[in-house]
A and B are shown apart, each in its own frame.
Chain A
Amino acid sequence: MDWWQSLITGLVVFAVVVLPIALVTTDRRRRGVIALPRHHPHTGTGVTKKEPTGALTMGRTLTGRPVVTLTGDHVADVKDIVFDPADGTVRCFTLATRALLPRRLSSLLLWQDVNALGPDAVMIRDRAALSAPEKLGEDLGTGSKVVGARLLTDAGTDIGRVADVVFGLDGHAHVVGCASESGHRFGRRVRVLLPIPLPVPISRERVVVPAQITDCQAEGLDAFPEARAKLLAQMHGSA
């Protein structure tokens, strides 16, 4: 009967340890960055309190960040960052509960209702800042998850996979680039930051970028502004 005991022990370990870890990991992976299907003109007041102009941050540091009212209540965590593909501006955040198994909330946090996007929390005035999904004026289900999409140059070369998105913060948050993973070197994933001059074609499968960006890579956020300036200079030079 030893094999019965081993089987039952194995099932218990799977149910108690492996399954919850797998579910949590899967949920974290589902968080991401969504491009809306088309440009929507919008007028927002934007954040009133902001990080220093020119600050850069990665999308993965924004997802999971707590959304807190000025009265100190935690109302949700950021799940996805939704942006307008025409100019890269962040339109809203989708939200999830904070729990071992987070549950997606139906309400959204529109950018104009964000009081401040800080390094440790997204601040809102109160719970009334959360909006019904209809207020966005766009079906999120039609948007494209950018993280995980393939990066294809306009010359037809696949240069990797979008592993993360780079956001610039200057009173508004907007997409300025991405982290690309292109294979492995010495057993480690090769990841570089690439500036992206929006608008670029974005579908559910891929993002098509100018071929020049392969010459404008940055190893980290510190070097990213220089890479972006180089790309913009090249594009203006070729225009």
Chain B
Amino acid sequence: MLFSQMTGRIVVDPDTAETTAKVTGVRIAPSPPHITHITALTVDADGRQRRLPWPDIHAIGPDAVIAKLTAVPAPPSTVVETDPVGKVLLTETGRQLGIVQDGEFDEADGHLIRILTAGTAVDGQELLGAGHYAVVVAPVHHL
């Protein structure tokens, strides 16, 4: 599944069957390359950003994400969590490969399969870090 296919999908509470939020993005991390959580905007009047840790997601279906939206504390300040889409894709040698446009992951276990730019697909295994400015990958094996 692509990040872009996930974005905008509704989040449904498995107990109440209520729509609680809409997915706004994903967060990725290396070692091993995976989705740490998805971010979602609550549909109540407050409209707050919430984090859905990957283990708390029951299912990702074609129409909805089934997950219990619990209050997740803000991450420690040392942990950088930003959406990889729109970031510069850099190799660890400082060469820019493009702008991250999308990514592909395994919806069964959150494993990152590929990072996609306009002209390049990079193996998710090459991910070294994803920060505020860039997504950094090891010297590249194009897919």
Contacts and interface: CB of A to CB of B under 8 A. Distances in A.
A28 interface: no
Of the four ranges (under 10, 10 to 19, 20 to 34, 35 or more), the interface on chain A belongs to 20 to 34
Contacts of A123: 90, 92-94, 136
A225 B133 CA distance: 36
Nearest to B96: A120
Interface residues of B, number: 20
Interface string A106-129: 000000000111111111000000
Interface stretch (A65-73, A150-158, A173-181, A195-203): A65-73
Main secondary structure of the interface of A (DSSP, over half): loop
B87 A68 contact: no
Interface in B92-120: 92-96
Nearest to A119: B95
Contacts of A49: 92-94, 139
Interface stretch (B32-40, B44-52, B123-131): B123-131
A104 interface: no
Nearest to B128: A70
Contact of B90 (A50, A51, A117, A120): A120
A69 B95 contact: no
B80 A120 contact: no
B131 A118 contact: no
B94 A70 contact: no
Nearest first, the 7 A-B pairs at minimum CB distance are: A118-B94, A72-B131, A74-B133, A71-B129, A120-B96, A73-B131, A121-B94
11 contacts: A66-B133, A68-B90, A68-B134, A70-B129, A73-B80, A73-B134, A116-B92, A119-B94, A121-B95, A123-B90, A123-B92
